């Protein structure tokens, strides 16, 4: 492996993977291919912008001609696909782009890989494809029961990956990561959204009763798991990647407020997300046993350093929270907040 195409590498997890791999493997060239949607951000790649083994190409994974051109131009011999529409709330408001990128885009990558004989393709998926689980932990062999348009589109992409492995013998692997947090995460997901809103003493809209459970994974651990699976994973296999740290949303919110020294009165209970999954939980047994990977960071340390990063890097997020971001915010939260209940209030 020499020239790795990282699709969606200007996003949150993709850029963490690129920063890691560029520094660690000077013998590989990392070519980021990214459409630069609202979530793509070249600031995420500033730390590697002058590295000799890094390149950037703008393009859409659903555009076959563009994907083929970049694969030929750089003699790509591995693809790692992070590109996706990734926010559940946006998928509820407007599912179109999710079908195009998370299903059609994945198919295009697979088909170009097949036609050009690219020997390796890793696809980054999510634990959300399993749906919600009340008790116990999802294993890789469990059925997929996605509940949101986002989760369903990710499941569709994964099924194409499976078919290309079984039908054409493409050397594919898949990881299903849990809720990831860390620096450079677009401030629409709960952690960076609540951190940056709380810094400005603004209300935090907690959906429903705030008792939904997510498993929390630090972004560097997620990037490391993808590296390990890319280098050592078995063709055709799927690997869960969990942080092994379950928390209720209210607990995550309280941790953020306490760390920032902000009052709990900022919490607002707002109308729930439609079809809201109650709990995500998965076991790391397989990746731990077969590849020796396990998370290296504790939630507390990693979340504290993440909060510190947002405090120290306002230059990064303040310019995001303008324009289109504010339009989405209004659509998503204005009415809900107007009818909200304050934490601890009557």
User: Any idea which residues carry the catalytic annotation?
Assistant: 127-128, 150
How far apart (Å, rounded) are the C-alpha atoms in residues 32 and 9?
5
Please list, in sequence order, all residues whose beta carbon lies within 8 angstroms of the beta carbon of residue 99, skipping any fewer than 6 positions away: 153, 156
Q: Length of the chain in residues, anyone?
A: 346
Q: Which one of ligand TYD, ligand NAD, none interacts with residue 190, CB within 5 to 8 A by kind?
A: ligand TYD
Q: Which one of ligand TYD, ligand NAD, none interacts with residue 82, CB within 5 to 8 A by kind?
A: ligand NAD
Supply the Cα-derived Rg of the chain in whole angstroms: 19
List the one residue from 37, 249, 284, 306 that touches ligand TYD (CB under 6 A). 249
Smallest separation, CB 269 to ligand NAD (Å):
23
Q: Which residue is nearest to ligand NAD (CB)?
A: 11
| Residue 5, burial from CB neighbour count under 10 angstroms (0-12, 13-18, 19+) | buried
The helices-and-strands tally (H runs, E runs) of the chain is 14, 13
Tell the residue number behind the tokens 């204005």, with chain if given. 334
- Binding to ligand NAD by residue 105, rule CB under 6 A? yes
Smallest separation, CB 295 to ligand NAD (Å):
14
- Binding to ligand TYD by residue 206, rule CB under 6 A? yes
- Binding to ligand NAD by residue 40, rule CB under 6 A? yes
Between 214 and 286, CB nearer to ligand TYD: 214
How far apart (Å, rounded) are the C-alpha atoms in residues 153 and 141?
19
Q: In terms of Cα–Cα distance, which of 30, 25, 20, 45 is closest to 225?
A: 20
- Binding to ligand TYD by residue 190, rule CB under 6 A? yes
Q: Which one of ligand NAD, ligand TYD, none interacts with residue 245, CB within 5 to 8 A by kind?
A: none
Smallest separation, CB 205 to ligand TYD (Å):
5
- Retrieve residue 167's tokens: 């039908």
Q: Which one of ligand NAD, ligand TYD, none interacts with residue 193, CB within 5 to 8 A by kind?
A: ligand TYD
Please give the size of the binding site for ligand NAD, defined by CB under 6 A: 30
- Binding to ligand TYD by residue 88, rule CB under 6 A? yes
How far apart (Å, rounded) are the C-alpha atoms in residues 228 and 231?
5
Smallest separation, CB 77 to ligand TYD (Å):
32
List the one residue from 17, 193, 269, 310 that touches ligand TYD (CB under 6 A). 193
Residue 121: count of CB within 10 angstroms of its CB: 26
List the one residue from 54, 98, 164, 186 that touches ligand NAD (CB under 6 A). 186
| Full DSSP string of 118-167 | ---EEEEEEGGGG---SSS-B-TTSPP---SHHHHHHHHHHHHHHHHHHH
E strands present in 219-320: 238-241, 246-248, 267-270
Binding site for ligand TYD (CB under 6 A): 88, 128, 179, 189-190, 193, 205-207, 212, 214, 249, 273
Binding site for ligand NAD (CB under 6 A): 7-8, 10-14, 34-37, 39-40, 60-62, 82-86, 101, 105, 124, 126, 154, 177, 179-180, 186
């Amino acid at each position: 492996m020499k020239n790795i195409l990282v699709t969606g590498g200007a996003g949150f997890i993709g850029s963490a993977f690129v920063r890691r791999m560029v520094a660690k493997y000077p013998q590989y060239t990392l070519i980021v291919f990214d459409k630069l949607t609202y979530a793509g951000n070249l600031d995420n790649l500033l730390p590697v912008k002058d590295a000799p083994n890094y390149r950037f190409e703008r393009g859409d994974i659903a555009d076959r001609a563009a994907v083929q051109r970049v694969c030929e131009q750089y003699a790509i011999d591995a693809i790692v696909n992070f590109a996706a529409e990734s926010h559940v709330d946006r998928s509820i408001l407007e599912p179109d782009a999710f079908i195009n990128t998370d299903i059609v885009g994945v198919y295009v990558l697979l088909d170009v890989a097949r036609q050009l004989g690219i020997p390796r393709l890793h696809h980054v998926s999510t634990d959300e494809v399993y749906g919600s689980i009340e008790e116990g932990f999802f294993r890789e062999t469990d059925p997929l029961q996605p509940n949101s348009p986002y989760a369903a589109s990710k499941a569709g992409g994964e099924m194409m990956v499976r078919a290309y492995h079984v039908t054409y013998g493409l050397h594919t692997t898949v990881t299903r990561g849990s809720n990831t947090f860390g620096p450079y995460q677009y401030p629409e997901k709960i952690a960076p959204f609540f951190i940056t809103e709380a810094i400005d003493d603004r209300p935090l809209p907690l959906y429903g009763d705030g008792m939904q459970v997510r498993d929390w994974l630090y972004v560097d651990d997620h990037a490391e798991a993808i590296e390990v699976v890319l280098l050592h994973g078995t063709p055709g296999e799927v690997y869960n990647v969990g942080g092994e740290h379950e928390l209720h949303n209210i607990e995550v919110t309280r941790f953020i407020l306490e760390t920032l020294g902000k009052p709990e009165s900022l919490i607002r209970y707002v109308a729930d997300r439609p079809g809201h999954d109650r709990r995500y939980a998965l076991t790391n047994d397989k990746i731990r046993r077969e590849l020796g990977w396990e998370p290296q960071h504790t939630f507390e340390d990693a979340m504290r350093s993440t909060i510190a990063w947002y405090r120290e890097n306002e230059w990064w997020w303040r310019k995001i929270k303008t324009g289109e971001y504010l339009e989405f915010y209004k659509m998503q939260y204005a009415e809900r907040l107007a009818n909200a209940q304050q934490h601890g209030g009557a």
